[in-house]
Each structure stands twice: as C-alpha cells, then as structure tokens.
Amino acid sequence: MHTTFQTVLRSAIAMLTLSSQAAISAPEIVWSLEGFDEPESVLAHPTKPFLYVSNMNGTPTELNGKGYISLLSSEGRIIRHVWIMGMDAPKGMATDSKNLYVADMQQLHIIDIEQGVLVKSIKADSSVMLNDVAIDDTGVIYISDLLGGGLYRYHDETLDQWIPGDQLPHPNGLMFKDDELIVATWGTGIKDDFTTETPGGLYAVNRETATLTPYKNAQQFGNLDGLADAGDSLLISDWMNGNIFGYKDETVQLLFNAGKHSADISVKGDQLYVPMMFSQRIDTYKIE
C-alpha cells in the first residue's frame, strides 16, 4: 500500500510540474490535408521531397486487410492516395536509402521505395501490436510492441524479440540518435480504451547491452506516441491528450496542444507533421 501511494504521489507531482509550465500558443499551420483513413504515422523522407502516411483504415487492432500507405509531396500534394495497399493496421515507419519499413500488427513490411512495391512481410509470432520502427547506423531495424511490450530487432533476415515485455512494458515511439535508441513509452496499467494507470516517459537503450536508462526528468508525463528529432531537442506527442512536448537540457516542456489523438509525428527542416488519427487529416506546423 505504501509503495502504491508513493507511485501515485510521484505521478501527481510530475504531472503538476508539467501542467504548471505555460504552453506557448500553437505555431502557424502551414497546411492541413483531410481525407485520410485513421492516419497513424507521417514520415518525411530524409533526402527526397516525399511524405509517407500510414492509414489504418479501421480500428488500431483490426485485421481487415484494408490498411494502406499514402504518398504525398512535402508541400502537402497527394501523389498517390493509395500507394501501397493490402495491410491490416499499419502504424510507425522508418526508411533507409532503399526501403520503407512499416510496423503492422504482428508483421514488419518492407517496401521498395523506387518501385513502389511491397516486397516482403516478416511475421513476429510472439508480438501483439507492433507500433513503431527505427533504424540504426548499421542498418539494424528496431520495432516496438505497444500491447505485448518489449522491442523486436530485424537483423540478418531474422526478426526476433530483443527486449522482453516485462522489462519494457508498452513502448511506442522509437528513434535512433547519437548512438542510442530512444524509446517513448505509453505508460503502465493499460486499459481497453488505451488510458493508463501511470503515464509513460522516455528511455535510452544501449544497443550493445540492451540496458534501459530513464531520461532524467522525463518520466510519467503522457501516453507518448511519436518521437521526432528537432536538432538540439526532441519533440514528443501525447496521443491521449494531444500535447506536443519538447525535451531539451534535461527538461520536458509543454509546447502546445495539437488536439486529441495526435499520433506519430515527423520533422523535416522547419516543418512538424502531425497525423490526427480520428480527425482523418494531417496538420503541418512551422517550428523554430
């Protein structure tokens, strides 16, 4: 009982600290585009003027074969609304120079970008809901399992669980930066409506030892979804409340509110791309 009370108290203090920080007004919306089908993730290609949008086209856990990827220009022009089809509930994505990697329930899809073709789907038999993807500088692919917990790793044509769920419950957003894998977690005590008893936070994962290190002053502040690199800071989206946070100099700051169910974000240059999952649109903000 005493331990539970301490946990609740720490959570309340953490959230009070965040709520006391005044959020700036939302930045300018450069463009907004509607007509998507439960868009979960937007990914900006690092060198080409393209955006990829994963459309679940159903509920987050639905296996209906209707999910697809849209191809957009960086300026918000639709190139192919249904570019790659035949998925279930596609979510987070990552890309290298040749392929686009997509997390989709119990599968990792590999798409040839130049050909615009789904070339391979690899199943992770023990997974429940694969959610986000990151690639390190050696080409190893990391995938989070939001509902099952833990991280998977795709390397040498093999997809295996790398970190078990009991060590890392409900991870969501992933990003590789400065020789470490960054994980944004959803929280613990997850319920049917995806609310949690305790909010999530940020962790660094050592890729050699698979050890987890909590980010200082960045715990229990939201049901965290997307992670984006903004130079000297991180941007993090809170899906449940729509908050966009920044993390810099060991401090979490509430930047603005994008609206509930803002999912897996992406940054390129001075543009922040935010998929509004249940509003069926993409909002693009100009950031400093």
User: For the residues of 203-247, what is the DSSP string, one character each?
Assistant: EEE-TTT--EEEPTT-SSSB-EEEEEE-SSSEEEEETTT-EEEEE
Q: Write out pLDDT tens, residues 52-111.
A: 999 999 999 999 999 999 999 999 999 999 999 999 999 999 999 999 999 999 999 999
Query: Residue 193: in which H helix or E strand, if any?
Result: none
Question: Among 20-29, 108-117, 121-130, where is mean pLDDT lowest?
Answer: 20-29
* pLDDT at res. 179: 86
Q: What is the mean pLDDT of residues 4-14?
A: 39
* pLDDT level of residue 24 (50, 70, 90 thresholds): low
Model pLDDT, residue 22: 52
Determine the Cα–Cα distance for residues 166 and 174; give it in Å rounded to an integer.
18
Contact 272, 284 (CB under 8 A): yes
Per-residue HEC secondary structure of 142-177 comes to: EEEECCCCCEEEEECCEEEEEECCCCCCCEEEEEEE
Predicted confidence band of residue 14 (pLDDT cuts 50, 70, 90): very low
Q: At 259, list the tokens.
A: 């609206």
Average pLDDT of span 14-25: 50
CB burial of 125-159 (b: ≥16 within 10 Å; e: otherwise) equals: eebbbbbbbbbbeeebbbbbbbbbbbbbbbeeeeb
Residue 4 phi/psi, 5-degree rounding, is: -65, -45
In the numeric block, which tokens belong to residue 140? Answer: 């190893």
Report the pLDDT averaged over residues 155-159: 93
**Average pLDDT score, the chain:** 92
Q: Which CATH class is domain 2-286?
A: mainly beta
Confidence of residue 23 (pLDDT cuts 50, 70, 90): low
